[in-house]
């Protein structure tokens, strides 16, 4: 049975003053750029819905954006990181808040959360290890959380890196994952 309302309420579903009144009445709580019914427990599908509000469905949240969706990162980071498949034909964005890359994705690299495609925890971890401009405790902790959420270990990351011959930043990713602790 289809949902009567979207996972996260925002304007066009209800005018903003009505959403604020519903919050004051205890019917909804504020979440990201919208509101959720009070009986909802925020899940990755809710965060995926928020990440895609107002954006073309061809965009696929990735890297730190996907880590937030999976719950491995507590706060959503800017710029919001998205990718598209090479055949998606998406125009370049001029926004500082959104970065979009064209990438090669296998079907196993993408998970469907409701109507939103998101890179899997494994692919997200691999891309963070390969492309993060900084490598701090935040990135290490995020990768370890992704490993626990996705139930994979460093060996799985290594296998993913080995799956393609010419993968950019493969050596950098290997150096970065050496210090991670495996989840049980």
Residue pLDDT, tens place only, 160-182: 999 877 788 999 999 999 877 66
Buried b (16+ CB within 10 A) or exposed e, 145-163: bbbbbbebbbebbeebbee
Mean per-residue pLDDT of the chain: 90
What per-residue confidence (pLDDT) applies to 163?
A: 86
Classify residue 184: in a domain, yes or no.
Answer: no
What per-residue confidence (pLDDT) applies to 2?
A: 59
Query: Are residues 13 and 79 both part of a single domain?
Result: no
Query: Are residues 141 and 173 both part of a single domain?
Result: yes
Query: Are residues 132 and 71 both part of a single domain?
Result: yes
What mean pLDDT comes out for the span 98-126?
94
Classify residue 95: in a domain, yes or no.
Answer: yes
Query: Are residues 24 and 51 both part of a single domain?
Result: no
35 within 8 A of 55, measured Cβ to Cβ: no
72 within 8 A of 149, measured Cβ to Cβ: yes
What mean pLDDT comes out for the span 17-34?
94
Query: Are residues 110 and 33 both part of a single domain?
Result: no
Owning domain of residue 1: 1-42
80 within 8 A of 52, measured Cβ to Cβ: no
Query: Are residues 130 and 163 both part of a single domain?
Result: yes
Quickly tell me which residue has 């925020």 as its tokens: 42
Structural domains of the chain, count: 2
What per-residue confidence (pLDDT) applies to 184?
A: 47
Query: Are residues 61 and 35 both part of a single domain?
Result: no
Confidence check: pLDDT of 125 > 60: yes
- What's the pTM value of the predicted model, to 2 decimals? 0.89
- Give me the phi and psi of 30, to 5 degrees please: -70, 135
Query: Are residues 85 and 142 both part of a single domain?
Result: yes
Query: Are residues 86 and 126 both part of a single domain?
Result: yes
Classify residue 183: in a domain, yes or no.
Answer: no
Query: Are residues 108 and 152 both part of a single domain?
Result: yes
Q: How many of the other CB atoms lie within 10 Å of CB of 12?
A: 8
């Amino acid at each position: 049975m289809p949902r009567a309302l979207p996972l996260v309420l925002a304007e066009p579903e209800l005018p903003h003053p009505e959403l604020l009144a519903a919050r004051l009445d205890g019917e909804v709580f504020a979440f990201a750029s919208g509101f959720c019914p009070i009986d909802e427990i925020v899940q990755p599908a809710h965060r995926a819905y928020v990440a895609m509000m107002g954006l073309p469905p061809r965009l696929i949240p990735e890297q730190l954006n996907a880590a937030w969706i999976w719950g491995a990162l507590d706060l959503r980071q800017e710029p919001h990181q998205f990718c598209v498949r090479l055949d998606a034909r998406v125009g370049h964005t001029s926004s500082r808040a959104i970065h979009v890359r064209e990438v090669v994705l296998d079907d196993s690299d993408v998970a469907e959360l409701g109507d939103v495609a998101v890179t899997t925890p494994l692919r997200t971890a691999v891309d963070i290890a390969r492309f993060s401009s900084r490598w701090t405790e935040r990135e290490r902790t995020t990768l370890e959380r992704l490993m626990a959420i996705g139930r994979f270990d460093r060996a799985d990351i290594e296998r993913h890196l080995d799956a393609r011959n010419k993968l950019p930043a493969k050596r950098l990713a290997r150096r970065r994952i050496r210090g991670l602790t495996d989840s049980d």
